[in-house]
Chains A and B, each alone.
Chain A
Amino acid sequence: MKGCKEIRKILNRYLDKETKEEENIFIQKHLNQCLQCKKEYQEIFAIKKMLQEKERLSLPLDYLVFRLRDKLKEEVKTKERLAWFLEMGNFSRRLIPVPLTAIVFLLLFMIFNLRQLPANYSVEDYLLNGYQITSENLIELILGL
């Protein structure tokens, strides 16, 4: 017959009905003879019973279903909003060359026109050396060339 040490090892399994039939016979026989093991068994049995009788929470049948429906709708809306922003972002990115090209053309146009026209104005009428400022000089001065 198995000793107390061996019995204690499988006592929890016995309590949880996880032992084999032959083990059950050994354990039952031992418990009838050994007060200490019987006490141990009664203690763990009480613990198990207490947990089994522990208060249980219960949700109304459709409570969670409704909560989930709302949450999923919310998720869909958020996704749609995000998709719209992403779409707009892509669209804007596709449009970036348009203002860039316009700026380049504008600059070229300005430079070309200013080169053509004789300047009838100047920042100062004369530079230190007394030359008249042409539009070309002006641009070169601005650009630091």
Chain B
Amino acid sequence: MPNDEFYVEEFLSGRKEAFEMLVRKYQNRILNIVYSLIGQDQESEDIVQEVFLKVYHHLKSFKKKAQFSTWLYRIAVNTVYDFLRQRRQKITKDFTLEKIATSYDNPQEAYFKKEKEKMLKIALSKVPLKYRTALIFKDIDDLSYEEIARILNCRLGTVESRIYRARQILKNEFLKLSAGLI
């Protein structure tokens, strides 16, 4: 399968289908990062669309010093930050839509899974955005510290400390929420 740089070159030479290949490749990864950051699935789709529109319009100015994926993630993060700044919303309290419904034989298991998802969503919302972003890149998209540092334009040590703090806050929040259930 051709790499991203190939598709970028193809797009720049006038083949619009090459851009669509990149969209197909990255749409779910970007969607899940956006969704984890803002916690709203309906809004997430619109943000992902905005991200790819920005990519479409600015691909000409993409300097090939960085990898395409790094550049794309950076646009995604900035778009999410802009969105949150505009809306001044930290995270939704809407838990109604679940896109991928995992089927469980055991209804009890399904119930617990759903409860855990809700708690995780609330706990994540308590983590400051800067820390949350680093953690999501690590645990949702499994990027290396180095890649995260490049995307967030910071040092490796900063990424490490942000992930550490995010996990500490998440752990404490999760424990608080779990205690509330008992």
Contacts and interface: CB of A to CB of B under 8 A. Distances in A.
Interface of A: 12-13, 16, 18, 43-44, 47-48, 50-52, 54-59, 61-65, 67-68, 71-72
A71 B53 contact: yes
B125 interface: no
The A interface, classified by DSSP as helix, strand, loop or mixed, is: helix
B163 A58 contact: no
B100 A57 contact: yes
B124 to A, nearest CB: 8
B20 interface: yes
B59 interface: no
B133 interface: no
The B interface, classified by DSSP as helix, strand, loop or mixed, is: helix
14 contacts: A16-B138, A44-B167, A48-B139, A50-B116, A52-B142, A58-B99, A59-B31, A62-B24, A64-B49, A64-B52, A68-B20, A68-B23, A68-B52, A68-B56
Q: How large is the interface on B (under 10, 10 to 19, 20 to 34, 35 or more residues)?
A: 35 or more
B164 A12 contact: yes
A56 B29 CA distance: 9
A47 B171 contact: yes
B13 interface: no
Most buried by B among A12, A57, A64: A57
